Every structure is written in structure tokens, then in C-alpha cells.
Amino acid sequence: MFKKKSVLLSLLIALVTATIVTQVAWAMTTLSEGSLTRLLGPANSPIYYSSGACVGGSCRYLNQSSANPSVYRWELTPYGQNDWYAYIPTIGQAAVRYGVYPNESWDVVVNQANPYNQGKYLYLGYSDYYGSKALFLGNTCVSGWGCYGYPVYWDNMGYEPH
């Protein structure tokens, strides 16, 4: 009887330890929208917006534009490969295009208005460029989705190194 309890306790401790180590090893690093850097377009910095719909109670936005759009990036991440995520506020209305700067050939369109995408970190893609890089987002209208002047939201983003 004592041996069974000892074995079960050892298995439980091993399982809890493995779970904690796995969560720490695969923990996503998040960066806020607080220190965005302009890549392209006019210097009309995204507007601060206070809302519980955003991570930490605030995010930034610019309205969609086809005539004079801007592109902003989050902070540069450390050297290496990454999986990329973006938090989609629950108030999103526009289709947007995320990409990785520099030297990445992919971008991904996300419908910020889709309830399935809202209120969580959404997986965007994988980057295999080994240098420092950053996730970017612009308020450019996305072809095929309409251009209605809706807000494009910059909120927290996340990455997981490989």
C-alpha cells in the first residue's frame, strides 16, 4: 500500500514538473503597442485608445486609408526564428495585413471584425530569418475587403523563439 502511494506521488510530482517546464520553455514573449516605430507613410502616430477590449486596457489605432496609409512596427525581437502572434481587440472592425520586417516574404490578412479572431492572441505565421526583426501592421486598405475608414488596431503582439 505504501509503495503504491509513493509511486503515485512520484508520478504526480513528475507530471507537475514536466508541465511547468514545458510552459516556461514555450512561454510567449509579449510586446505592447507602447513603443511603435514608423516604417512608412506620414508621421501620424496611431492614436491612444483606452478600452477594456484591449490588453491592459489600452491600444492604438489609425483609420483605414487608401490615399495616405502608414505602417508601424513593434520593437525588434532578439536574433533567431519566431512564431508570431497578435492580440485582436474585441472591438476590431477592419481587415488588416500583418508582416515581418525585414527580409520576410510573407504577410497575412486578419479580419479584426471576425468574432472568432477577437479577444485572443491569433497565430500569424513563422519567421525563419535569423537577424533581429519585428512584426508590423499598417492601416492600408486590404484589397477585396473594402475600405470604409474603419479603425485598424495595434495592440499587444507576441512571439515564441525556436
pLDDT tens-place string over residues 43-86: 888 999 999 999 999 999 999 999 989 999 999 988 788 999 99
Tell me the residue ranges of DSSP E strands in 10-150.
Answer: 29-31, 37-40, 47-50, 58-63, 71-73, 82-88, 95-101, 107-111, 120-127, 134-138
Alpha-carbon separation of residue 124 from 19, 146, 158 (angstroms): 25, 21, 10
Q: How confident is the model at residue 20 (pLDDT cuts 50, 70, 90)?
A: very low
22-49 residue pLDDT tens: 344 458 999 999 889 999 999 888 999 9
What CATH code is assigned to 29-161?
2.60.120
**Domain ranges across the chain:** 29-161
